[in-house]
Structure 1
Amino acid sequence: MFTLIFQTTSQLLFFTCRFGRMANITLSSEARDIAVHPKDLRKQKKIPSIMYGHGIENISLTLDHEAFRKVFKDAGSNTIIDLEVPGGKKHKVLVQDIQKDPVYDTFQHVDFLAVQMTEKLITEIPFEFTGESNAVKNFGGILVTNMDEVEVRCLPGDLVHSIIIDLSKLENIGDSIHLEDITIPKGLEVQSDMASMIVTVQAATEEKEEEAPAEVAMPEASAQKAPEAAAE
């Protein structure tokens, strides 16, 4: 955990962010019987899966749906998982891709990327926003989030689960936090522009009702008397 002091023209703002590396997460798998249709596996609350990576052969696997759901809730796609494959060997993997049922929100398929701990990779680390901005709560400001994650390059062992930013430190309208305002965890090489804004508070804009144009009184037409025809 760290505290960063950021100077503005009117005040000092204290931005508190923290980050942490997850403890080891383990997931077991079974060998997948290719003869069994994926629909039948899903009826058994199993998920068809595959693991691939540099220097290894693809391995078709089956996962327990509930076990994977719990692991993915904690690990997401940017935390190393110790995936145990048939035979007892464990591989360091990341969740590379998932497919979900749009109606039932169940996992349909999972791809794992086996990583080499000595080879750098590029991934995204999410920001986790906590607290409540005083500018929003008391001054009616609008919180505008410009970034919800940052792309980094790092060794797998240097990955962090998230970077947490305390929104309660945004005191006034116009306050903002940029990438250059936060401390990046050791080992992470940010791939984005450090001047990029993460979050800011803007003033609420009131929509004014358009006033209907005032009716202009038209002058009454003066009655004109037709000239009488001259008598012959």
Structure 2
Amino acid sequence: MSEVRLAAEPRTEFGKGAARRTRRAGKIPAVLYGHGSDPKHLALPALEFARVVREHGHNAVLTLDLGDGNSELALTKTVTTHPIKNYIEHVDLLLVQRGEQVTVDVPVVVTGEPAPATLLTQELTVVSLQAEALHIPEQVEVSVAGVAAGTQIHASELVLPRGVTLATDAEALVVNIVPAPTAAQLEAEGTTTVEAGEPAEATAEA
């Protein structure tokens, strides 16, 4: 994951009203914390930060230009989005150093089609990984191309980039592939459902 440079301004007003004013000015309220330092309250340019998240994901690493020649390296830790209007309300940033190992949640993307007459269930959509701050993978891919029914893929079987280690439980089930039900099985289930409903109808009439 590449490093992205972004301007940041200090915030001196706090509370809901101040946050609304910040957003009306085209900026996002943010807090930078970590390494035992006092939290820094910042405002990030909304359009530029939204583009960073869109292009680099929620684990984007930012070089924050704080003015006066000062800058900080930060990992995007939490992005809070409005549940209805879908704009970014607030961002939590974690102060990091080059070479530092961080633990992050990364999406799992399933590729390929399993063998015919099978059903695929993805049990985990994200896994926790430990990686160097500037080399966080955007996603982890798992291929199920041609995989037969009865196959289970666990977290320990995921192929990770060099230098990246698994933080999720190694035995956690990621993908489960089972036989697809036959037409006869589906029909039998439908029949059973109808038959199970008949006594209830009879009771109601009584």
Which of the five TM-score ranges fits, normalised by the shorter chain?
A: 0.7 to 0.9
TM-score (structure 2 length as normaliser): 0.77
Aligned partner of 2:169 in structure 1 is 193
Give the superposition deviation at 1:48. Answer: 1.3
- Per-residue deviation, 1:179: 2.7
How many correspondences in the alignment? 188
Shift of 1:58: 2.1
Residues of 1 paired with 2:153 and 2:195: CA distance? 42
What's the counterpart of residue 38 of structure 1?
19
Question: How far apart are 1:98 and its partner, in Å?
Answer: 2.3
Task: With a CA cutoff of 8 Å and minimum separation of 6, indicate the structure with the bigger relative contact order.
Answer: 1
Alignment of 1:1-232 (within 5 A): 22-34=1-13, 37-131=18-112, 133-135=113-115, 138-139=116-117, 141-167=118-144, 169-205=145-181, 206=186, 207-210=189-192, 212=195
Secondary structure (helix, strand or coil) at the match of 2:55 reads: helix
Give the 3-state SS of the residue equivalent to 1:73 in structure 2. Answer: helix
User: Structure 1's 181 and 101: CA in aligned 2 closer, same or farther, altered over 3 A?
Assistant: closer
CA distance in 2, matches of 1:122, 1:23: 17
CA distance in 2, matches of 1:195, 1:50: 35
* Aligned residue identity for 2:30: S
In the alignment, the residues of structure 2 paired with residue 57 and residue 110 of structure 1 have an alpha-carbon distance, to the nearest angstrom, of 16
Structure 1 position 145, deviation (Å): 0.5
SS in 2 for 1:37: helix
Aligned-partner Cα distance in 2 for 1:90–1:121: 20
Q: Which has the higher helix share?
A: 2
Return the alpha-carbon distance in structure 2 between the equivalents of residues 212 and 161 of structure 1: 50
Unpaired runs of 5+ residues, structure 2, are 197-206
Q: Which amino acid aligns with 1:197?
A: L
Q: 1:96: Cα distance to partner?
A: 1.7
- Which SS does the other structure have where 2:52 is aligned? helix
Name the larger-Rg structure. 1
- Equivalent pair of 2:2/2:134 in contact (CA under 8 Å): no
SS at structure 2 position matched to 1:201: strand
Q: 1:105: how far off?
A: 0.6
Distance 2:40 2:195 in 1: 70
- Decide whether the 8 Å contact of 2:3 with 2:60 is kept in 1: no
Q: Which moved more, 1:92-101 or 1:155-164?
A: 155-164
Structure 1 unpaired stretches of 5+: 1-21, 214-232
Q: 1:150 deviation in Å? A: 1.8
